[in-house]
Amino acid sequence: MSRNAKINGLLLLLVAALAVLPLALGLGDHKEEPFAGADAEAETAITEIDPDYEPWFSPLYEPPSGEVESALFALQAAIGTGVLAYYFGLRRGRRQGEARERERAGTDPGSGTGAGAGPDDDVAGAGAGAGRTV
């Protein structure tokens, strides 16, 4: 098994543990809504500190239920993931295209010679006219 495969397996195991451990250990059993978001937690804390607090702003759109709110959040996350995946895929595709072009042209990026370089051309360290017959 290669080193990368071991690291990927370990990371996958770690992510699974992070998802399962809070459920298995019963973290949040003492709460009415154990998996409420940070906004709900902050609202609860603020109302406990100052019951007369009035928010400065109100939401532009209030979803009819928690399920719709969760669905909209998941849609937002999916769109963001799609944008990032497109960007990284585009970069990788460009890099692979450039590599193929270099292979077709017969050049090596570190050699210093370009496509079409011949024996009569001025190459790395040779003076002008070196190797030419006049």
The predicted-structure confidence for 7-28, as pLDDT tens digits, reads as follows 999 999 999 999 898 888 877 7
CA dihedral sign, ordered 79, 84, 88, 94: positive
Nearest 5°: phi and psi at 83?
Answer: -65, -45
Query: Which pLDDT value is given to residue 133?
Result: 54
Say if pTM beats, i.e. exceeds, 0.75: no
- Yes or no: say if 26 and 35 are a contact pair by the CB < 8 Å rule: no
Nearest residue to 69 (alpha-carbon basis) of 40, 42, 45, 41: 40
CA atoms within 13 A on the CB side of 59: 6
107 close to 114: Cβ distance less than 8 angstroms: yes
Chain segment 23-54, per-residue pLDDT in tens = 888 777 777 766 677 777 888 889 899 989 88
Which tens digits make up the pLDDT trace of 71-123?
A: 999 999 999 999 999 999 999 999 999 999 999 988 655 555 555 554 554 55
